[in-house]
């Protein structure tokens, strides 16, 4: 162990770690942040949408120099079958007043920018340094970390912001390995196109952006989603499904991505693009019921490592930033009261987090993961196909009397799910959603 001691060590320089390190350093704490990647963002994979409000709470003037790609004016939700999509679009610049509500970002650039802010706030950031183990005293209290480079380092508290795998927390016995039904595996590609081509294809001007989120037969009956986000000169495109469903179906994630790209609704949007980047990453999907113990003697856990991810709204980075900020504020408060970083005192972090939208939103959707996991074929194959047939029946003009068309649509739903099945699906969905 080195002699030098820090107020806090933050493991990981992703969204959660940067928010925690920035919050503590800007409140005058002596902070060391350790990141295993070559630079912050080098190991990170995200679509990616940045939710401005949560960053604004941490760095109010972030728009002055943050590497933002496009501000979003349009969100499309698609239910896809093999050849079509039925969709809902929301488009408005109103929800970007007075300042844009959400942006697309490229994590490799964004995390580097965030890390510069962390350093400017006074934290020491060491990259290419993997924390291999937590250092503990005879009573089990965390008193620092061991690394592959700098040996052992002491701190009053360790903030675990190590992302979804959370190996350190698992090894220390603070949490269990996430169950396969509580994590999704997502694969993503970056497709490069000239800025004006992207603008024309999506009906955008200036730095306006568009997002498509898609569910349906593209995930072949597994619980999953496809996504397409417009950046300035690239499109992030990917698909993710529950690991438990991949394991049971033996589907290949990249075959799924290829099929998604080849879908008639997606193909024209990326035609002629140059693919420059592939990535694969896990996403926590277990929701409220998968949240592990969040604090203990000398440690707290934030972000994906704490499974704080809202799969229904596809929000992760904002929960990560907010939990990091709240952990930082709680630690700074305990420090200012000159109290030790014990389990009892660090429970302040949990009580603050419980009052935030982070836990509130996850609690609201607490039954959603189990519903989608156990009914995935109905929600991701049967209903998208039925809706697509119904939509086509509605818009096709072929001389068939409308009453007959309506009867045919109704009969198709009852044949596929039975009256009781339809009612029970609707009730279960409503209960899980409320
Ligand atoms: C394909 C995909 C698309 C997504 N799209 C969106 C989106 O559009 N919007 C959104 O809000 N969220 C999205 N998410 C989720 C979002 O990326 C995560 O919720 C967010 O990155 C979590 O931040 P984090 O800081 O907790 O973890 P991470 O960003 O994963 O950061 C963890 C960091 O810890 C480092 N680390 C790990 N172990 C160690 C160790 N032992 N020692 C040192 N360093 C270590 C890692 O290298 C990494 O830099 C997406 C995720 C994926 C995979």
The three-class DSSP label of residue 360 is helix
Q: Is the beta carbon of 320 within 6 A of some atom in ligand 1?
A: yes
Q: Is 168 in the pocket of ligand 1 (CB under 6 A)?
A: yes
Determine the pLDDT at residue 47: 65
Ligand 1: does its nearest atom lie under 6 Å from the Cβ of 166? no
C-alpha 27/C-alpha 20 separation (Å) is: 11
Closest ligand 1 atom to 147 CA: 42
Alpha carbon distance 2, 32 (integer Å): 13
Distance of CA 304 from the midpoint of ligand 1 (Å): 6
Q: Which atom of ligand 1 is nearest to the CA of 317?
A: 11
The residues with which 147 forms a beta bridge, in sequence order, are 131
State the Rg of the chain over Cα.
23
Residue 315 in contact with ligand 1 by CB distance below 6 A = yes
Which of 348, 374, 349, 356 is closest to 432 using CA atoms?
A: 374
Task: Give 10-residue mean pLDDT values along the chain (434 residues).
Answer: 87 98 98 95 78 96 96 95 94 85 94 97 97 96 92 94 95 93 96 97 96 96 96 96 95 96 98 92 95 98 97 94 98 98 98 97 94 91 95 94 95 96 94 88
Three-state DSSP at 157 gives strand
As given in the structure block, the two tokens for residue 46 are 């995200």
CA distance 310 to 357: 11
pTM above 0.85, yes or no: yes
Separation CA 186–CA 153 (nearest Å): 35
DSSP 211: E
- Cα of 281 from ligand 1 centre, angstroms: 9
Cα 295 to middle of ligand 1, angstroms? 20
Atom from ligand 1 closest to the CA of residue 305: 26
Predicted pLDDT of residue 411: 96
The string of DSSP letters for 265-331 reads TTHHHHTT-EEEEEEEEEEE--GGGG----EETTEEE-GGGGT--BTTTTB-HHHHHHHHHHHHHHH
List the alpha helices (DSSP H) in 31-80.
Answer: 52-58
What pLDDT does residue 42 have?
82
Sign (positive/negative) of CA torsion 90, 92, 96, 97?
negative
What residues form DSSP beta bridges with 280? 187
How far is ligand 1, taken at its centre, from the CA of residue 389, in Å? Answer: 38
**Whole-Å CA distances, 148 to 63, 125, 152, 293:** 36, 15, 9, 26
- Tell me which of 42, 316, 322, 362 to substitute to probe ligand 1's pocket, judged by most ligand atoms within 8 Å of the beta carbon: 316
| Residue-range domains of the chain with CATH | 5-69+100-178+289-365 (3.50.50.60), 181-284 (3.30.9.90), 369-433 (no CATH)
Strand 234-242 to strand 224-230: parallel, antiparallel, or no bridges (unpaired)? Answer: antiparallel
H or E element, residue 427: helix 402-433
Q: Is 162 in the pocket of ligand 1 (CB under 6 A)?
A: yes
pLDDT score recorded for residue 46: 64
Sign for the CA dihedral angle at 241, 243, 247, 250 comes to: positive
Give the per-residue pLDDT at 93. Answer: 81
Measured by CA distance, the residue closest to atom 30 of ligand 1 is: 163
Instruction: Give the number of the atom of ligand 1 that is nearest the alpha carbon of residue 283.
Output: 53
Ligand 1 atom closest to the Cα of residue 323 is: 26
Report whether residue 188 contacts ligand 1, using a CB cutoff of 6 Å.
yes
At residue 92, the pLDDT reads: 87
């Amino acid at each position: 162990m080195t002699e030098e001691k820090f107020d806090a060590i933050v493991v990981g320089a992703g969204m959660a770690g940067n928010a925690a390190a920035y919050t503590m350093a800007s409140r005058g704490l002596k902070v060391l942040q350790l990141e295993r990647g070559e630079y912050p963002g080098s190991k990170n994979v995200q679509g990616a949408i940045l939710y401005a409000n949560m960053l604004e709470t941490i760095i109010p003037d972030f728009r002055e120099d943050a590497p933002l790609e496009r501000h979003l004016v349009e969100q499309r939700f698609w239910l896809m079958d093999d050849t079509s999509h039925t969709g809902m679009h929301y488009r408005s610049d109103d929800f970007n007043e007075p300042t844009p509500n959400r942006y697309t970002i490229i994590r490799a650039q964004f995390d580097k920018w965030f890390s510069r802010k962390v350093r400017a706030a006074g934290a020491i950031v060491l990259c290419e340094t993997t924390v291999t183990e937590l250092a503990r005293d005879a009573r089990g209290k965390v008193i620092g970390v061991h690394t592959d480079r700098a040996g052992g380092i002491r701190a009053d508290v360790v903030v675990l912001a190590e992302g979804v795998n959370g190996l350190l927390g698992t090894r220390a016995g603070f949490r269990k390995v996430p169950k396969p039904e509580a994590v999704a595996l997502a694969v993503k590609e970056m497709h490069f196109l000239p800025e004006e081509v992207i603008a024309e294809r999506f009906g955008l001007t200036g730095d306006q952006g568009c997002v498509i989120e898609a569910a349906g037969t593209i995930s072949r009956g597994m619980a999953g989603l496809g996504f397409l986000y417009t950046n300035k000169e690239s499109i992030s495109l990917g698909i993710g499904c529950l690991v438990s469903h991949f394991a049971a179906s033996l589907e290949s994630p990249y075959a799924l991505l290829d099929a998604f790209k080849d879908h008639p609704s997606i193909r024209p949007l990326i035609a002629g693009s140059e693919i420059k980047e592939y990535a694969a990453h896990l996403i926590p999907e277990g929701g409220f019921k998968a949240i592990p113990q969040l604090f203990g003697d000398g440690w707290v856990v934030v972000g994906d490592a704490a499974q704080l991810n809202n799969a229904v709204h596809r929000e992760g980075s904002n929960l990560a930033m907010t939990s990091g900020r709240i952990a930082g504020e709680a630690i700074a408060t305990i420090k200012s009261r000159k109290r030790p970083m014990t389990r009892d005192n660090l429970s302040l972090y949990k009580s603050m987090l419980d009052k935030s939208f982070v836990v509130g939103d996850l609690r609201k959707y607490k039954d959603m993961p189990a519903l989608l996991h156990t009914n995935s074929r109905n929600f991701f194959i049967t209903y998208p196909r039925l809706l697509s047939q119904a939509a086509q029946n509605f818009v096709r003009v072929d001389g068939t009397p409308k009453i007959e068309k309506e009867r045919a649509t109704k009969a198709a739903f009852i044949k596929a799910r039975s009256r009781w099945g339809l009612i029970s699906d609707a009730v279960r969905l409503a209960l899980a959603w409320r």
